Structure 1
Amino acid sequence: MTVSNTYIDRVIASLSHVAEISYRRIFNGIGIYYHGVQFAIVVNDHLYFRADEYSRPLYLQKSMKAFQPRASVQVESCFFELPDEVLNAPAELRHWLRIAVEAAQTGDYRDDETTVETPIRHMRQRA
């Protein structure tokens, strides 16, 4: 599992246009945060947003694929892939970002940035 610099730059640029986000490397991918809450991951050049029991049907209705860490093992994922075209549509991206952040906030997914040794690269919303 890898993440290309070109893809992560594109994702971060698109997301930073609609919200103040931060990101850092996690395992074999990238974790993306909104005010310390991890709402997305990037793995193998695919962007996945967090879902909960309430938002999961929204992702399924749009035929968004669930993240599967290994092809040999099927698990119920809490992350769903966003289609690439959503990255180019700020209003739609903002909509899905809000859904993902809400899902992340309902669980205990807040990351205490002061205890994490890996530096977080903060991106500010561009004017």
Structure 2
Amino acid sequence: MTADLEYLAELFEPVGGVRIRRMFGGLGFFRDGLMFGIWQSDGIFLKADDETRPGFEAEGCGPFVYGSKNGGKTSLNYYRIPERLLDDTDELRDWALAAIDVAIRANAKKPVKQRK
């Protein structure tokens, strides 16, 4: 899958206020300055935490993992979206809004000086 910015912008339009920026060979999805999702060549991933992770796991969706410089693998708190969401923009919006809430909660846990 190659990133079609127009397609991704249309896909996330129902969420409102989403900005898409190039980063690390992929794309980042932001709202109100907080990153809530990423796109890499193998799909779209949304930010998750202990509250939302079970929903991804119930759908059989795994975490975003990338190779580190030392040859190891690093996993982030971003999980692949279920493919069915690509055909259901209302449900995708709900999952994206939940990921935005995760980003807000994570930001609130940061020291005041590091918050967005």
User: TM-score, structure 2 length as denominator?
Assistant: 0.79
One-letter code aligned to 1:98: L
Question: Which consecutive segments of 4 or more residues in structure 1 shift more than 6 A?
Answer: none
Q: Within 5 Å, which residues of 2 pair with 1:1-127? A: 4-6=2-4, 8-70=5-67, 73-108=72-107
One-letter code aligned to 2:90: A
Q: CA deviation at 1:19?
A: 2.0
Q: CA deviation at 1:97?
A: 0.8
Q: Give CA-to-partner distance per residue, 1:72-116, whole Å, 9 cap, x none.
A: 63444200011332022122111101110011111128986xxxx
Aligned residues of 1:14 and 1:88 also touching (Cα < 8 A): no
Q: Distance in 1 between matches of 2:73 and 2:53?
A: 17
Task: Give the number of equivalent residue pairs.
Answer: 109
User: What is the DSSP-based 3-state SS (H/G/I as helix, E as strand, rest coil) of the residue aligned with 2:104?
Assistant: helix
Q: Which has the higher strand share?
A: 2
Q: Distance in 2 between matches of 1:41 and 1:73?
A: 21
Q: Distance in 1 between matches of 2:102 and 2:36?
A: 8
User: TM-score, structure 1 length as denominator?
Assistant: 0.73
The root-mean-square deviation of aligned C-alpha atoms, in Å, is 2.5
Where in structure 1 are there 5+ consecutive unaligned residues?
Answer: 113-127
Q: Which has the higher helix share?
A: 2
Q: Distance in 2 between matches of 1:69 and 1:20?
A: 28
